[in-house]
Amino acid sequence: MTKTFAELKFPGRLIAVEGLDGSGKSTQIYLLKRWLELQGLKVFFSEWNSSDIVKSATSKGKKRELLTPTTFSLIHATDFADRYERQLVPLLRAGYVVLCDRYVFTAFARDTVRGCPPEWVRGIYDFAAHPDLTFFFKAQLEVSLQRILDGRPQLKYFEAGMDMRLSSDPYESFRIFQGRILEQYLGMSTEFNFSVIDANQPIEAQQTVVRELVAAKIDLASFAANHSEKHR
């Protein structure tokens, strides 16, 4: 079993949110970030800025529809490794609370749906420690779909899962694809100790649960920005 950052004795802690597009996870992690930074804690929200070189290869592959399940998986693993080694590890070594909108579990779900063997995918991401806390925002499939399809009707090829030939209609393809990803998430929930949040609740109710869990799991006082100076 892959270890968490706390188990590996990193001074920092990593909190990740996972869930379907439209599950409201980005709103929740934003509110969590605001809460932590307004308390004056050393917090960093990872924006996932990858290197130009990796970004260029990924967008070329997507634009020209060059990717197979295997190369889709590998190029995203490359991208993740780049961010992990350049951004996450240094911040966690420096003792930050790092917030991630999606982590390795997104790849586990997505690549498995595309037909890659789950053990192969997990093996590849084995270099990355696991989050100290992973929130999974569990919403009804129809609600998530509606939120996405109402707001952003132009679906991209891979985003809609068009490469899997599920349907010639991008919207129908997206529905089937998201449904299968949800199944994968639900299957991983126990295995990876997800903290499941009922995403059908009001924003405030969800945020209350999130903050309570974070406070219970992480010694927030030790992440005060001026903490290290005080102890000198």
Partner 1 sequence: MKPSAPRQNSILAKQRVAVPRPSRRRFYGYGIPNVDVQRLAGKLIVMEGADGSGRSTQIARLRDWLEGCGHATVQVGLKRSTLVSEELNQAQKGNILSHTTLSLFYATDFADQLENVILPALKAGFMVLADRYIYTLMARDLVRGMDATWLKNLYGIALVPDAVFYLNVSPEQLVERNFAKNYALDYWESGMDLGLSREMFDSFLKYQGLMAQEFKKLQAIYGFTIVDANRRPEEINRELQRKIASSVMGK
Applying CB under 8 A, which residues contact partner 1?
Answer: 51, 53-54, 56-57, 60-61, 66-71, 74-75, 77-78, 81-82, 84-86, 114-117, 119-120, 123-124, 126-127
CB of 46 to partner 1, least distance (A): 16
- Using only the alpha carbons of the chain, give its radius of gyration: 18
Nearest to partner 1 of 112, 144 (CB atom) = 112
Minimum separation from the CB atom of position 153 to partner 1 (A) = 29
The residue among 36 and 88 lying less far from partner 1, judged by its C-beta, is 88
Closest distance between partner 1 and the C-beta of residue 122, in Å?
Answer: 9
| Least distance CB 73 / partner 1 (angstroms) | 9
Closest to partner 1 by CB, 66 vs 205, is 66
**Shortest distance, position 86 Cβ to partner 1, whole Å:** 7
Sign of CA dihedral 24, 25, 26, 28: positive
The alpha helices in the chain, defined as continuous H runs, are 25-38, 52-63, 69-83, 89-93, 104-113, 118-124, 141-151, 170-188, 203-217, 227-230
Q: Which of 34/86 has CB closer to partner 1? A: 86
E strand or H helix at 39, and its extent?
Answer: none
SS3 at position 15: strand
* 209/211 Cα distance (integer angstroms): 6
Q: How far apart (Å, rounded) are the C-alpha atoms in residues 98 and 89?
A: 10
> Taking the CB of residue 47, how many other CB atoms lie within 10 A of it?
10
**Between 76 and 175, CB nearer to partner 1:** 76
Are 13 and 132 spatial neighbours (Cβ–Cβ below 8 Å)? yes
Work out how close the CB of 71 gets to partner 1 at its nearest, in angstroms, rounded to a whole number.
Answer: 5
The answer to whether 144 and 21 are in contact (CB under 8 A) is yes
Residue with smaller CB distance to partner 1, 64 or 230 = 64
